[in-house]
Amino acid sequence: MKSKLLTLTIAICLLFSFWIAPPAIAQANGCGPQNFDFLIPDGSFTEACNRHDLCYSDVNIDQAGCDRRFQQDMYAICERDYSGSNVSYCKAIADYYYRAVANFGEVFITLDGRKVSGEIVTVNARRIDDWLGDDEFEACVTFKNNGTVNTEYDLELYSQSGSLIDREPDTYEVNVQVGYSAQTCVGTDGIYPSISDLGNQYKIILRVDAPSESLLANLVNDFVAVDWYEGNTP
Protein backbone atom coordinates (compact mmCIF):
# COMPACT_ATOMS: atom_id res chain seq x y z
CA MET A 1 0.00 0.00 0.00
CA LYS A 2 2.83 2.39 0.88
CA SER A 3 4.47 1.64 -2.48
CA LYS A 4 1.29 2.56 -4.38
CA LEU A 5 0.82 5.75 -2.35
CA LEU A 6 4.38 6.90 -2.95
CA THR A 7 4.13 6.17 -6.66
CA LEU A 8 0.85 8.10 -6.86
CA THR A 9 2.35 11.01 -4.88
CA ILE A 10 5.28 11.24 -7.29
CA ALA A 11 2.89 11.08 -10.24
CA ILE A 12 0.71 13.89 -8.85
CA CYS A 13 3.79 16.06 -8.39
CA LEU A 14 4.86 15.29 -11.95
CA LEU A 15 1.41 16.35 -13.12
CA PHE A 16 1.91 19.62 -11.28
CA SER A 17 5.19 20.02 -13.11
CA PHE A 18 3.38 19.51 -16.41
CA TRP A 19 0.72 22.05 -15.40
CA ILE A 20 3.20 24.88 -14.81
CA ALA A 21 5.41 23.99 -17.80
CA PRO A 22 3.47 22.32 -20.63
CA PRO A 23 5.74 20.48 -23.08
CA ALA A 24 5.21 22.68 -26.12
CA ILE A 25 8.88 22.29 -27.03
CA ALA A 26 11.60 19.88 -26.03
CA GLN A 27 12.90 20.92 -22.64
CA ALA A 28 14.41 19.35 -19.55
CA ASN A 29 13.75 20.51 -16.00
CA GLY A 30 15.07 17.69 -13.88
CA CYS A 31 12.85 15.33 -11.92
CA GLY A 32 10.25 17.73 -10.58
CA PRO A 33 8.61 21.14 -10.91
CA GLN A 34 10.99 24.06 -11.17
CA ASN A 35 11.44 25.75 -7.75
CA PHE A 36 9.59 22.84 -6.09
CA ASP A 37 12.44 20.38 -5.68
CA PHE A 38 11.21 19.50 -2.20
CA LEU A 39 8.26 17.70 -3.86
CA ILE A 40 10.40 15.45 -6.06
CA PRO A 41 14.07 15.96 -5.19
CA ASP A 42 16.44 15.28 -8.06
CA GLY A 43 19.02 13.72 -5.77
CA SER A 44 21.55 12.05 -8.03
CA PHE A 45 19.04 11.57 -10.84
CA THR A 46 19.11 15.01 -12.52
CA GLU A 47 20.99 13.71 -15.57
CA ALA A 48 18.62 10.74 -15.97
CA CYS A 49 15.52 12.91 -15.54
CA ASN A 50 16.73 15.44 -18.11
CA ARG A 51 17.39 12.70 -20.65
CA HIS A 52 13.94 11.27 -19.97
CA ASP A 53 12.30 14.67 -20.54
CA LEU A 54 14.02 14.98 -23.91
CA CYS A 55 13.24 11.38 -24.85
CA TYR A 56 9.51 12.06 -24.42
CA SER A 57 9.86 14.71 -27.13
CA ASP A 58 11.47 12.29 -29.59
CA VAL A 59 8.66 10.73 -31.64
CA ASN A 60 11.03 8.05 -32.94
CA ILE A 61 11.12 6.37 -29.51
CA ASP A 62 7.99 4.90 -27.94
CA GLN A 63 7.11 5.68 -24.34
CA ALA A 64 8.09 2.26 -23.03
CA GLY A 65 11.54 2.68 -24.56
CA CYS A 66 11.97 6.07 -22.88
CA ASP A 67 10.84 4.70 -19.53
CA ARG A 68 13.12 1.65 -19.69
CA ARG A 69 16.08 3.86 -20.60
CA PHE A 70 15.17 6.13 -17.69
CA GLN A 71 15.29 3.21 -15.26
CA GLN A 72 18.58 1.95 -16.70
CA ASP A 73 20.12 5.42 -16.43
CA MET A 74 19.08 5.70 -12.79
CA TYR A 75 20.46 2.24 -12.02
CA ALA A 76 23.77 3.21 -13.62
CA ILE A 77 23.91 6.35 -11.48
CA CYS A 78 23.23 4.29 -8.35
CA GLU A 79 26.10 1.93 -9.17
CA ARG A 80 28.38 4.85 -10.00
CA ASP A 81 27.69 7.06 -6.98
CA TYR A 82 26.98 4.57 -4.19
CA SER A 83 28.41 1.40 -2.71
CA GLY A 84 27.32 -1.47 -0.50
CA SER A 85 23.73 -1.52 0.72
CA ASN A 86 23.21 2.07 -0.47
CA VAL A 87 23.14 0.81 -4.08
CA SER A 88 20.03 -1.27 -3.38
CA TYR A 89 18.37 1.61 -1.55
CA CYS A 90 19.14 3.96 -4.44
CA LYS A 91 17.69 1.48 -6.96
CA ALA A 92 14.53 1.13 -4.84
CA ILE A 93 14.02 4.90 -5.10
CA ALA A 94 14.67 4.68 -8.83
CA ASP A 95 11.93 2.05 -9.12
CA TYR A 96 9.39 4.49 -7.61
CA TYR A 97 10.32 7.09 -10.22
CA TYR A 98 10.12 4.48 -12.99
CA ARG A 99 6.67 3.23 -11.92
CA ALA A 100 5.38 6.79 -11.74
CA VAL A 101 6.30 7.57 -15.37
CA ALA A 102 5.30 4.11 -16.64
CA ASN A 103 1.82 4.43 -15.15
CA PHE A 104 1.16 8.14 -15.64
CA GLY A 105 3.73 9.43 -18.13
CA GLU A 106 1.35 9.49 -21.11
CA VAL A 107 0.14 12.96 -20.08
CA PHE A 108 3.65 14.37 -20.67
CA ILE A 109 4.64 12.73 -23.90
CA THR A 110 4.72 14.46 -27.29
CA LEU A 111 1.91 12.75 -29.20
CA ASP A 112 2.73 13.87 -32.75
CA GLY A 113 3.70 10.79 -34.74
CA ARG A 114 2.87 8.36 -31.93
CA LYS A 115 0.08 5.79 -32.11
CA VAL A 116 -2.53 5.19 -29.40
CA SER A 117 -4.01 1.81 -30.21
CA GLY A 118 -4.98 -1.64 -28.96
CA GLU A 119 -6.11 -5.03 -30.25
CA ILE A 120 -8.21 -7.91 -28.98
CA VAL A 121 -6.06 -11.05 -28.92
CA THR A 122 -8.41 -13.75 -27.60
CA VAL A 123 -11.99 -14.04 -26.32
CA ASN A 124 -13.07 -16.95 -24.12
CA ALA A 125 -16.87 -16.88 -23.75
CA ARG A 126 -19.00 -19.25 -21.70
CA ARG A 127 -22.50 -19.81 -20.41
CA ILE A 128 -22.80 -19.95 -16.61
CA ASP A 129 -25.59 -22.22 -15.38
CA ASP A 130 -27.87 -20.62 -12.82
CA TRP A 131 -30.34 -23.01 -11.22
CA LEU A 132 -32.22 -20.12 -9.60
CA GLY A 133 -33.09 -18.37 -12.86
CA ASP A 134 -31.83 -17.50 -16.32
CA ASP A 135 -28.26 -18.50 -17.12
CA GLU A 136 -25.48 -15.91 -17.11
CA PHE A 137 -22.78 -15.03 -19.65
CA GLU A 138 -19.09 -14.26 -19.22
CA ALA A 139 -16.40 -13.41 -21.76
CA CYS A 140 -12.78 -13.02 -20.66
CA VAL A 141 -10.85 -10.93 -23.15
CA THR A 142 -7.09 -10.71 -23.60
CA PHE A 143 -6.03 -7.47 -25.28
CA LYS A 144 -2.70 -5.89 -26.16
CA ASN A 145 -1.28 -2.39 -26.33
CA ASN A 146 0.05 -2.42 -29.89
CA GLY A 147 0.58 1.34 -29.97
CA THR A 148 3.56 3.43 -28.91
CA VAL A 149 2.10 5.13 -25.82
CA ASN A 150 1.27 3.62 -22.43
CA THR A 151 -2.42 4.14 -21.83
CA GLU A 152 -5.63 2.79 -20.27
CA TYR A 153 -8.31 0.47 -21.62
CA ASP A 154 -11.78 -0.79 -20.82
CA LEU A 155 -14.25 -3.21 -22.41
CA GLU A 156 -17.92 -2.87 -23.31
CA LEU A 157 -20.35 -5.75 -23.91
CA TYR A 158 -23.33 -5.18 -26.23
CA SER A 159 -26.34 -7.31 -27.06
CA GLN A 160 -27.41 -8.25 -30.59
CA SER A 161 -29.85 -5.32 -30.53
CA GLY A 162 -27.07 -2.88 -29.62
CA SER A 163 -27.88 -2.39 -25.92
CA LEU A 164 -24.95 -1.83 -23.56
CA ILE A 165 -24.92 -4.79 -21.16
CA ASP A 166 -21.68 -4.31 -19.22
CA ARG A 167 -18.57 -2.15 -19.01
CA GLU A 168 -15.48 -3.33 -17.17
CA PRO A 169 -13.65 -2.37 -15.07
CA ASP A 170 -16.40 -0.53 -13.20
CA THR A 171 -14.52 2.24 -11.41
CA TYR A 172 -11.11 2.42 -13.08
CA GLU A 173 -9.36 1.42 -16.27
CA VAL A 174 -6.63 -1.11 -17.01
CA ASN A 175 -3.25 0.54 -17.54
CA VAL A 176 -1.20 -1.37 -20.13
CA GLN A 177 2.34 -0.51 -21.17
CA VAL A 178 3.48 -0.64 -24.78
CA GLY A 179 3.85 -4.20 -26.06
CA TYR A 180 2.13 -5.79 -23.03
CA SER A 181 -1.22 -7.55 -22.69
CA ALA A 182 -3.93 -7.67 -20.04
CA GLN A 183 -7.15 -9.57 -19.43
CA THR A 184 -10.57 -8.32 -18.31
CA CYS A 185 -13.91 -10.13 -18.17
CA VAL A 186 -17.35 -8.74 -19.08
CA GLY A 187 -20.69 -10.41 -18.60
CA THR A 188 -24.17 -10.50 -17.14
CA ASP A 189 -23.21 -11.50 -13.61
CA GLY A 190 -25.64 -9.31 -11.71
CA ILE A 191 -29.29 -8.85 -10.84
CA TYR A 192 -30.06 -7.78 -14.40
CA PRO A 193 -29.56 -8.56 -17.28
CA SER A 194 -28.94 -12.26 -18.04
CA ILE A 195 -27.79 -14.28 -21.03
CA SER A 196 -31.22 -14.17 -22.68
CA ASP A 197 -30.87 -10.38 -23.00
CA LEU A 198 -27.91 -10.81 -25.35
CA GLY A 199 -29.87 -12.41 -28.16
CA ASN A 200 -28.18 -14.85 -30.52
CA GLN A 201 -25.03 -12.77 -30.84
CA TYR A 202 -22.95 -10.39 -28.75
CA LYS A 203 -20.35 -7.73 -29.45
CA ILE A 204 -17.33 -6.70 -27.36
CA ILE A 205 -15.67 -3.34 -27.92
CA LEU A 206 -12.15 -2.50 -26.72
CA ARG A 207 -11.80 1.19 -25.86
CA VAL A 208 -8.64 3.18 -25.21
CA ASP A 209 -8.12 6.40 -23.30
CA ALA A 210 -6.57 8.64 -25.93
CA PRO A 211 -4.21 11.11 -24.18
CA SER A 212 -4.12 14.74 -25.27
CA GLU A 213 -1.50 17.46 -25.21
CA SER A 214 -3.89 19.34 -22.89
CA LEU A 215 -3.59 18.43 -19.21
CA LEU A 216 -7.22 19.40 -18.61
CA ALA A 217 -8.29 17.04 -21.37
CA ASN A 218 -6.30 14.25 -19.77
CA LEU A 219 -8.13 14.71 -16.48
CA VAL A 220 -11.36 13.72 -18.25
CA ASN A 221 -11.51 10.22 -19.72
CA ASP A 222 -11.84 10.45 -23.49
CA PHE A 223 -12.30 6.84 -24.64
CA VAL A 224 -12.46 5.76 -28.26
CA ALA A 225 -13.09 2.32 -29.75
CA VAL A 226 -10.01 0.68 -31.28
CA ASP A 227 -11.08 -2.94 -31.81
CA TRP A 228 -14.14 -5.16 -31.50
CA TYR A 229 -15.21 -8.79 -31.54
CA GLU A 230 -18.52 -10.38 -32.49
CA GLY A 231 -19.54 -13.89 -31.47
CA ASN A 232 -22.45 -16.26 -31.16
CA THR A 233 -24.01 -16.48 -27.72
CA PRO A 234 -23.11 -19.87 -26.18
Pair type for strands 174-176 and 164-168: unpaired
Characterise 102 by phi-psi region: left (phi > 0), alpha (psi -120 to 50), beta (else).
alpha
All domains of the chain in start order, with CATH: 2-107 (1.20.90.10), 119-232 (2.60.40)
pLDDT value at residue 107? 58
pLDDT value at residue 221? 56
CB 86 within 8 A of CB 111: no
Other residues' Cβ atoms within 10 Å of the Cβ of residue 93: 16
Q: Minimal CA–CA distance to 119: which of 212, 181, 37, 54?
A: 181
| 162/36 Cα distance (integer angstroms) | 51
pLDDT value at residue 112? 59
pLDDT value at residue 189? 78
pLDDT value at residue 111? 57
Q: What are residue 27's phi and psi, to 5 degrees?
A: -155, 155
Return per-residue pLDDT of the chain as tens, 234 residues.
444 444 444 444 444 443 334 444 445 556 754 444 444 555 688 888 888 888 877 777 788 888 889 999 999 999 999 999 899 999 998 898 888 887 776 656 555 566 788 999 999 999 998 777 688 999 999 999 998 888 889 999 999 999 999 999 987 788 898 899 999 999 997 777 899 999 999 999 999 887 654 444 444 557 888 899 999 999
pLDDT value at residue 20? 38
| 70/92 Cα distance (integer angstroms) | 14
Angle value at C-alpha 36, between 17 and 65, nearest 5 degrees: 40
| 124/180 Cα distance (integer angstroms) | 19
